[in-house]
Structure 1
């Protein structure tokens, strides 16, 4: 059976995000570039948290997200507030991100046109009223954070190169 284009795009975007950080270690993922509030680990976790909210919470589907992950990686949070709280390792985050797309496909493939009980308005002012619209917004959201992750990787690489010379 042919997968819905939106589900194919979600998987494509997610594979790009994961491939971008596959070789990264935890220490590198925690580096906060000058002038920024967060790091690669926060961006990855934030992608997971927001997609969990949009794919499951808003439509009253059960989520497997741990409460501490939600509290540490939601909108308005930043790594400097984490303190001693234990976060998943980067490889654990990658596993969560991989499994998430599978769960979305399994649970929502035949619910995409479903109108949600209460339309949801994003922090940027866009009102979403179907499962499909919620998931479609996740493509934009993950794309923004993917670009940030890529930029942070370049900054880290430049820092390393400058230390060598």
Structure 2
């Protein structure tokens, strides 16, 4: 991946997360925690999920420890669902992590820490074989969850 491509994907991921935050900002915690009819999760779960997924795709598949707490990984990984209401304090932590994890990834990538990678067949039907592919795929994943959140926003 060229530096220009990496920077574009990073900037696009940052913008997707900023769009998620803008979508959630005017809402109260009870709205963010509400699971709309027909959905399995809520707005705040989707936000936590994209942070965890980027960590698992880029760090976990590279054999590195994710930069988020293991309890967060368990609560927001693929296949999980909300286990109760999230507090304002937890949401504030997610907001901080949404930026910090991308800055850390950018720095770690520049330092060349992603050497190994475990092949991963995604539920989208593509196989990831390098961290660069994982980061590109992550942007599609975050965009999908942004779309889900936009639909949910109309129902809360």
TM bucket, shorter chain: 0.7 to 0.9
Q: Which runs of 5+ in 1 are unaligned?
A: 157-165
Per-residue deviation, residues 56-87 of structure 1 (Å, max 9, x unmatched): 111123322112111111111112xx159989
Query: Residue 5 of structure 1: CA displacement?
Result: 2.3
Aligned residue number for residue 163 of structure 1? none
Normalising by structure 1, we get a TM-score of: 0.79
Instruction: Indicate whether 1:71 and 2:58 are aligned.
Output: no
TM-score using structure 2 length: 0.83
- The size of the alignment, in residue pairs, is 153
- Inter-CA distance 25–95: structure 2 relative to 1 (3 Å threshold): farther
Runs of 5+ in structure 2 lacking a partner? none
User: Which protein has the bigger strand share?
Assistant: 1
Q: How far 1:42 moved relative to its partner?
A: 0.9
Quick one: distance in 1 between partners of 2:110 and 2:30?
37
| Alignment partner of 1:29 is 2:32 | yes
Q: Residue 101 and residue 136 in structure 1: after superposition, are their counterparts in 2 closer, same or farther (change >3 A)?
A: same
Instruction: Note the C-alpha offset of 1:146.
Output: 0.6
